[in-house]
Each structure stands twice: as C-alpha cells, then as structure tokens.
Structure 1
Amino acid sequence: MPGAAYAQGDAGAAPDYSDGSVWLCRPGREDACAVDLDAAVVQADGSVTMDIHQPAQDPAVDCFYVYPTVSVDPGVNSDLEIGPEERGVVHAQFARFSEVCRPFAPLYRQVTLTALRAAMAGNGDAMSGGALAYGDVRDAWRHYLEHDNEGRGVILVGHSQGARMLQTLINQEIEGEPVQDQVISAYLIGWNVQVPEGETVGGDFSALPLCTEADQTGCVVSYVTFRDDVPPPPNTRFGRSPDPANQIACVNPASLTGDGPVMLDSYLSNGSDGYDMATQSWTETQEVDARFVKLPGFLSGQCVNRDGAQYLSVTVNADPSDPRTDILTGDVVANGQVLTDWGLHLIDMHVVMGDLIDLAESQAEAYQDR
C-alpha cells in the first residue's frame, strides 16, 4: 500500500533462462501470449462487431518484450513466480504482437510496485534494485541470442521499467555490435528517451535514430502520453528533459511524420487485465464482454512540444448525442486523486496498439526485403 515501508527481502537465485518456467512467452506454447485477443468493435452508433485476432503462422521475425512495473511482491525486487499481474500486462501490451513475430518475454526480478509506492511516499529507494533487474534482462537477451535467434530480425518492445531496461541493453549490448544489424526496431514506450533538440539521433543513443518512416528499420519508437486537456504539470515524471540541450523523444506510431492529429487505432482493456477501463458502459445498446474493445474515431493524437514538454497528446472525441461512451479511463489514481504527473502512463500502449502492430508489420516486411 502507498506509504508502507518495504523490506529488502530475498529475490532468490538468478534465473536460468534455459528453464521454460522463467519465460512468460515463448513460441509454440500455451502461455501468457496464447490467449483470446478478439476485440469488440463499438461504432459511434452503438453497433458492435468483432475484430478477430489471428497469430501469424511461422513468422519470419521475433519480438523480445520487457514488461513494466507490475509486481506486488513485498521486496524491492520481485520473485520469479508468474502472477496475474504479469499475465495481465502481457495480454494487454505484448500478446497481440504474435500477429507479426515469434514472442519472447522473460520473467525478471524487476523493481516492484511495492517498492515504487514506498519510494513515492519517501520510504526507500526503489532504484536500488535496478541493477539486479537489468542483469536478468541482459542474461535473458544473451540466452535468446545464443539459443533461439538463429540470425533472425528482432523487434524490442518495452514499457516504463521495461523500456528503461531495454534502453540500457541497447547501450551496453547492442549499439556498435554485430547484433545491431538485426534490430528491426525498438519500441521504448512510456519512458523519457532523450534526443538533442531538432535531431533524430544522439542523446541516449549513439547510433539508433528515431523512426521517421514506416519502412525504416534499425530505429526507435518512443513517446509518453498525456490527455490533451491535462498536459504535463511542472512536477511531471515524463515529457521534460533535465538536460536543456535535449528533448524527450516523441514518435507517434500512427503518424511517424508527425503531421498534425490523426485517429488512433486503440485496443482498450475491458477490465480483465488489471486496467480500470471497464468502470463504464461502452455503449447503451448492449453489453460488451470481450477482453478488449475498439472504438473507431474515439481517440486522436499527435506529438506536441508545449511549455517545454514533448509528448503524445491524446484527445477524446466525445459525442454526447451518440450511444457510445464518452469516457476514457486510464489515469493513475491514488487515494481517489488523479496523479497528473503520470499522464496516461497506464495506457501508453493501449491507445495506439493497433498502430504499433501495423508499424511492426511494415518494419518486419522492410527488414525481410533488404
């Protein structure tokens, strides 16, 4: 709970990534990525159809995913047991990538949500567990390269703490190494990736540029998300660089050129994956019980640079006259209060999931055609 002190605890022995039990997802298994991802498509008139998820058959490329801070284990670092929170975030953020690639998602002894909440209340340093967490991700990556990759192209996918881990992995294990040529793209979402003002490369990365075209490979997609009418406050956690020479990267997966607001292809969680998005009725016309919901035309977004902050600004295109919901949930809430410094961090990936999948398909095809 927020404000509670935490014990260092025992995160246990380092994972052996030859053991399948320390992987949330691997290809060809019934695991966290092998779930029903069909989505209800709710049109503005209240009519509902189904969007059917179809995993790729024998995909030519891989995806390697590192999940965000979700563990509610009591220590600074999590154990290596798969809980509902790990499964839920994979369902919401990564399993759909199986439409494009073979999925690989290691468990790791991440810094826990328990430790983060305590640190926010002034009780401890959550980042004290970062080195242990990164060591696991690095070891999983090395094991994957040695035993599974077989020279295939790979898309890196991470959110929040997972994006931070992948940023470090790119710095230490990928840039300047032969494997850099196999990186199709790196989706580092919900994390402050820094680039020099007006540039696409530099800052946090020495070689990988930001993506500017859908058929570009070897590049980075990164953004942080805020509501258009609730921009980053002065105490924001995301969107402002501490270095005046740098800005925070913003690459909108729905429009890499950044030309104005565009409609976003969202997959919103319907309450089954630990996200509080189903406290509403999606439409007055009928009940919706699919795991995910799509609302065409409901959300639009663009990368903006406002008041010294760079972020993906999301607008809810509400219409009180139609039977469809006008409410987007997904804010971070503590003690009944919305924490505006977090923006829409919980749904950074939900709001553009369809666009991310489309981009992954385009980049994977471009990589294969090189």
Structure 2
Amino acid sequence: MARKFLYVVATLIVLVLVGGFVYSLFGNDLLRRAMVPSVAFKAEPAMPANAYADRAMWFARPGLSNTPVDWLPPGVERTEPGNAEIFFIHPTSFVGTDRWNAALDDSETNGRAQVFLRGQASAFSAAGRVWAPRYRQATFGAFLTGEAAAQQALDLAYRDVAAAFDQFLAEADPKRPIILAGHSQGALHLTRLLREKVAGTPLARRIVAAYVVGWPVSKATDLAALGMPECAAADQAGCLLSWQSFADPADPTLILEQYDVSTGFDGRPRNGTPMVCTNPLTGTADAQAPASANAGTLIPDKSLESATMTPALVPASCGPRGFLSIGDSPPDLGPYVLPGNNWHVYDYSMFWANVRADALRRLATWEKR
C-alpha cells in the first residue's frame, strides 16, 4: 500500500535530469531508479529508554520557543491556546539514497521537515500545545519499491514515533484532551498508533479527533480497526478525518493501483472500497463546498520561510472513490504539484484556516461532554 506517494523533491530532481517529455513516458521507473536506495537495509538500535525526554528530540513541544508550529501567517491574531495536547507526525522530508532511514542530525532533512511543520502543524496551535517529534523517517524511495528493506525502514521509523508517543503520554497533562494529526508518511504511522496504542483503550476517550491526511483510509476495511468513525458532522468529536487533494483533470492511478491490491486492517481486500473523504471546508464526509467557504489558503513565498493567507481561493468536493477535488483552476502555490495533478504537498496549506477552525470546533464539543 505504501508504494504510491511521489514527493516533491524526487519528482523535481527527475524532471530536471531527464526533462518533462521523457518523464511523461518513463517517470515512475525513473523515480524508482533514481530514488530507491541500492544499499542493504541497516538495522539500527532502538531509541534508548527515555530518549524523547530530551527536548532536542522534538521539533516542537512545551518548553521550546520559536518552533515551526509557532508560526502564523501575517494578519492572523495569536490567541491564548486551547486545552488540547496535540501530537503531530510530519511527512517525509528525507530523499537520500545512501541509507533507508534518515539520520536525526541531517540538517537538510530537518530543514524540510520544519517547512512542512510551518505550513501544516501550525494550524493546530490555537487548539493547544503541539508536540512534533524528530524521527528516523523512511526515505522517499521506500514508497516506490516492494523490497523488504522498505518495510523494514518504515517499521524502524514507526518505532521512533511510538517511543515519542509514549513520552508524550507520560509528560502531557493527563486531564487534557488529545488531538492526533499527521500527513503522508506521518499519517501512515498515525494509523498504526491508532491501532496499537489507542483503539479499545481508555485513552480513546481523550481523543478529540484524528487527522489522517494525505493517506488513504478504507471505510469498509480500516475504520473499525482504527477505533473511531469518520467525522460525519462539523462539530463531532472522537472521529477521524482524511483527504487526498487532486485538481482536475485528476489521475489517481498511482494510488489506486496500490490501494486496490492491498489488504485492509481487518484482513479483507481494499479493492473497490471507498476511502474516507472529509471535506476540510465543511468538516463533513463526502461533501461539496465552493471556494467562498474557504477561510484561508497559505500562499508561500519563494523562500518557503513564510506565507500569506488568502480566503476564497480553493473549492473542495469529495468524489465517489474518496479523492478530494479542488477544481480545474487552482491557484499558483508553487512548482510542487505531483504527477496525476496530485496536490498532495498542499493538503493542509490549501485549507489552513478551515483546519484551524475545525480543530477548535471539535475541541469545544469534546469539552462539553
């Protein structure tokens, strides 16, 4: 299932090296040849006990200042944060081919991760305290091959995430509700966290919502194992949100080819099953909304260090298989649209203001329980 997401940096490298025409004919094979490590997987030791008690193991957490998640677009007022504890797992930022997992001290990889956190996790900062761990993420190439090394790399990355989550639970205020969120590889790891550490436990009662964004979740074969329903109402708590953004004309073949041959969390095939599609503009399932419902899209500057926020730019409409359409005239957000008209990189930033409001609304519902 994991061999389907094409991340921006690798795509751009291939386009520069071989040109758009050649890529249009052989792009996926070229990506695999260029980006899948040729070295053997190297097993690495588990994190030492209490490794995540060290604040240096986090991009953001209480006690750290001037973190990426503290960023706000110009004109957005900084308010007193809500009472939630937020655990956010960042997407893939490592594209190396000399190893299968990122080193924690890789400055280039960490820099990319912080760009993602500014445009994604910052949307949750109004709801409470954001915790965002560093982890030995699997490289981009792990998503392009069926080699055993790819799954080993993902398992290693998940073990780090799980260790960080355990420390988060040990240090976070036990009386506060929890919001779980991630994107892409981070969302994949979040589905495993939900299955192994949340579903069917007392902890599940503390979950305001789980934002499993940029990763497919089958309504038929996955939701029950994740322990929560999809969000049907905008003010519902204890539910799961997920969306994958495409502009028209969309070609989600790369995702569907892998999704339809994969096995769900309940052991049944996912073939032909609809995916969870939460419309981030309405907060409801399988909905449509015009651009006027969009409270604010982030428009990044060239340095990716900041962005301005503009309302009413991007519509959203859930399609029959569960992909989110943003129409045929999306704004220019930069050069990072992926093959198939896949706006994966912008899943959060296109709907930043609505995600911010969504988290606050669901938190308010949870607190009224």
TM bracket, shorter-chain basis:
0.7 to 0.9
1:294 aligns with 2:298: no
Query: Secondary structure of 1:327's match?
Result: coil
Preserved CA contact (<8 Å) 1:214 1:359:
yes
- Structure 1 residues 111 and 369: CA distance shift in structure 2, 3 A: same
Counterpart of 1:327 in structure 2 is 332
Preserved CA contact (<8 Å) 1:316 1:328:
no
* Whole-angstrom distance in 2 between the partners of 1:163 and 1:179: 19
Preserved CA contact (<8 Å) 1:221 1:251:
yes
- Structure 1 residues 132 and 31: CA distance shift in structure 2, 3 A: farther
When normalised by structure 1's length, the TM-score is 0.77
Query: Secondary structure of 1:149's match?
Result: coil
Q: CA deviation at 1:30?
A: 1.6
* Whole-angstrom distance in 2 between the partners of 1:63 and 1:272: 27
Counterpart of 1:64 in structure 2 is 87
- Structure 1 residues 259 and 228: CA distance shift in structure 2, 3 A: same
* Whole-angstrom distance in 2 between the partners of 1:195 and 1:357: 25
Counterpart of 2:47 in structure 1 is 14
- Structure 1 residues 241 and 361: CA distance shift in structure 2, 3 A: farther
Corresponding residue to 1:76 among 97, 100, 105: 100
Query: Secondary structure of 2:326's match?
Result: strand
More strand by share: 1
Query: Secondary structure of 2:158's match?
Result: helix
* Whole-angstrom distance in 1 between the partners of 2:85 and 2:94: 25
* Whole-angstrom distance in 2 between the partners of 1:182 and 1:203: 18
Q: Which amino acid aligns with 2:60?
A: C
Counterpart of 1:177 in structure 2 is 201
Preserved CA contact (<8 Å) 1:252 1:312:
yes
Query: Secondary structure of 2:255's match?
Result: coil
Preserved CA contact (<8 Å) 1:109 1:133:
yes
1:92 aligns with 2:116: no
- Structure 1 residues 186 and 239: CA distance shift in structure 2, 3 A: farther
Q: Which amino acid aligns with 2:332?
A: I
* Whole-angstrom distance in 2 between the partners of 1:238 and 1:147: 41
Q: 1:268-307 maps to which residues of 2 (within 5 A)?
A: 268-273=299-304, 291-305=306-320
Preserved CA contact (<8 Å) 1:300 1:317:
no
Q: Which amino acid aligns with 2:127?
A: V
Q: Which amino acid aligns with 1:88?
A: V
Counterpart of 1:315 in structure 2 is 327
* Whole-angstrom distance in 2 between the partners of 1:254 and 1:369: 23
Preserved CA contact (<8 Å) 2:208 2:366:
yes
* Whole-angstrom distance in 1 between the partners of 2:312 and 2:359: 22
- Structure 1 residues 180 and 77: CA distance shift in structure 2, 3 A: same
1:25 aligns with 2:30: no
- Structure 1 residues 20 and 205: CA distance shift in structure 2, 3 A: same
- Structure 1 residues 153 and 241: CA distance shift in structure 2, 3 A: farther
* Whole-angstrom distance in 1 between the partners of 2:92 and 2:346: 13
* Whole-angstrom distance in 1 between the partners of 2:287 and 2:85: 30
Preserved CA contact (<8 Å) 1:25 1:104:
yes
Q: Which amino acid aligns with 1:71?
A: F
Corresponding residue to 1:225 among 236, 245, 268: 245
Counterpart of 2:235 in structure 1 is 215
* Whole-angstrom distance in 2 between the partners of 1:351 and 1:239: 26
* Whole-angstrom distance in 1 between the partners of 2:287 and 2:344: 23
Preserved CA contact (<8 Å) 2:73 2:306:
yes
> For 1:54-75, what per-residue CA distance to the aligned partner results, in whole angstroms no more than 9, with x for missing partners?
1x42531111000111124541
* Whole-angstrom distance in 2 between the partners of 1:355 and 1:132: 34
Corresponding residue to 1:101 among 128, 147, 162: 128
Q: Which runs of 5+ in 2 are unaligned?
A: 1-12, 14-30, 262-269
Q: CA RMSD in A?
A: 2.7
* Whole-angstrom distance in 1 between the partners of 2:69 and 2:214: 25
Counterpart of 1:365 in structure 2 is 364
Q: CA deviation at 1:348?
A: 1.1
Query: Secondary structure of 2:169's match?
Result: helix
* Whole-angstrom distance in 1 between the partners of 2:196 and 2:133: 19
Q: CA deviation at 1:154?
A: 0.8
How many percent of aligned residue pairs carry the same amino acid? 25
- Structure 1 residues 239 and 19: CA distance shift in structure 2, 3 A: same
1:260 aligns with 2:288: yes
- Structure 1 residues 125 and 10: CA distance shift in structure 2, 3 A: closer
Deviates more, 1:254-263 or 1:212-221: 254-263
Q: Which amino acid aligns with 1:364?
A: L
Counterpart of 1:46 in structure 2 is none
* Whole-angstrom distance in 2 between the partners of 1:270 and 1:142: 36
Q: CA deviation at 1:137?
A: 1.0
Query: Secondary structure of 2:172's match?
Result: helix
Q: Which runs of 5+ in 1 are unaligned?
A: 40-50, 274-289, 319-325, 334-338
Deviates more, 1:172-181 or 1:56-65: 56-65
Query: Secondary structure of 2:53's match?
Result: coil
Q: CA deviation at 1:293?
A: 2.5
Q: Which amino acid aligns with 2:155?
A: A
Preserved CA contact (<8 Å) 2:243 2:276:
yes
Preserved CA contact (<8 Å) 2:210 2:240:
yes
Preserved CA contact (<8 Å) 1:240 1:310:
no
Query: Secondary structure of 1:267's match?
Result: strand
Count of matched residue positions in the alignment of Structure 1 and Structure 2: 318
Corresponding residue to 2:177 among 153, 158, 171: 153
